[in-house]
Amino acid sequence: MRRPADQPDGAEREASPADGSTLSDEFDRAASRYDLLTMLNPGYGAALHRAARALVDAALAGPRPGAPMLLDVGCGSGLSTRALLAEAGDGVEVIGVDASAGMLAQARAKPWPPRVAFVQARAEELGRAAADGGWPPAAGLMASYLLRNIPKPDRDAAVAQLVARVRPGGWVVLQDYHVRHSARAKAVWTAVCWAVVVPLATVLRANPAIYRYLWRSVLANDSPAELIARLERAGLTDIRRHPGTGWQRGILHTVLARRPEGTP
């Protein structure tokens, strides 16, 4: 196992998929143990539910004409989809989207009502997936732990793809780890990854390469201010940020934003 000091140029360099393979392949290899690893992360599930609740409260307030649709982009094994479904209640359709076939296989193996569907697509291809599926504009969109897996030069375009899938007046919620702004957050994140997460992944044979990638991708991720600037460039307004709780305070950030009415 390589220690943090052994990583070339530290983790401030642009993170890339482990061992030169594609990131989707690495997630495929980790998929069978992914839920177990997240279950061992204190607060992971509760944080997903907080993000889902914030989106539902904003996007589904007031009367619901027809069956509104929510998108879960980067849905992985379906944990965030489950949170959205639980918070939204009956009468809402949810579409989960992910690039990893292995993660989607884990998601589809879970029991779901007929109003939940899963689609394999990269975030950068969301427009094509929506056109192929005939999706209506979503009332809201959730993207958890997604944008840092997209190369920085492509992130503004990816955010634009997300925003384009939401109806005017709809809402977007993003949740991820952001530590560039804080030396303390970087130190806590590194300690947790190398003392807990990577060893657990090794013992459980859960593809530790993806968790080494997790460590360095978070260190290289946008700061909260950089993320908010991306959302503003995409035309989103009413931006609100929650900095997390417990050990994740100042590390896990949930950002809610609205697509203004009247936007094309």
Residue 39: CATH number of its domain: 3.40.50.150
Residue 239: inside a domain? yes
Give every strand in the sheet of 69-73, ordered side by side. 116-120, 93-98, 69-73, 138-144, 166-177, 252-258, 237-242
* Number of C-beta neighbours around residue 147 at 10 A: 23
Q: Report which DSSP code applies to 245.
A: S
Residue 264: inside a domain? no
Sign of CA dihedral 230, 231, 237, 238: negative
- pLDDT tens sequence for the chain (264 residues): 445 544 433 333 434 544 334 889 999 999 999 999 999 998 999 999 999 999 999 999 877 667 899 999 999 999 999 999 999 988 899 999 999 999 999 999 999 999 999 999 999 999 999 999 999 999 999 999 999 999 999 999 999 999 999 999 999 999 999 999 999 999 999 999 999 999 999 999 999 999 999 999 999 999 999 999 999 999 999 999 999 998 999 999 999 999 999 877
Q: How far apart are CA 61 and CA 145, in angstroms?
A: 25
DSSP string, 101-119: HHHHHHHHTS---TTEEEE
Residue 94: inside a domain? yes
Domain count, the chain: 1
Residue 68: inside a domain? yes
Residue 263: inside a domain? no
Q: Which of 220, 236, 217 is nearest to 228 (CA)?
A: 236
Residue 237: inside a domain? yes
pTM value is: 0.91
Domain span at 57: 4-258
Residue 12: inside a domain? yes
pLDDT in tens, 120-178: 999 999 999 999 999 999 999 999 999 999 999 999 999 999 999 999 999 999 999 99
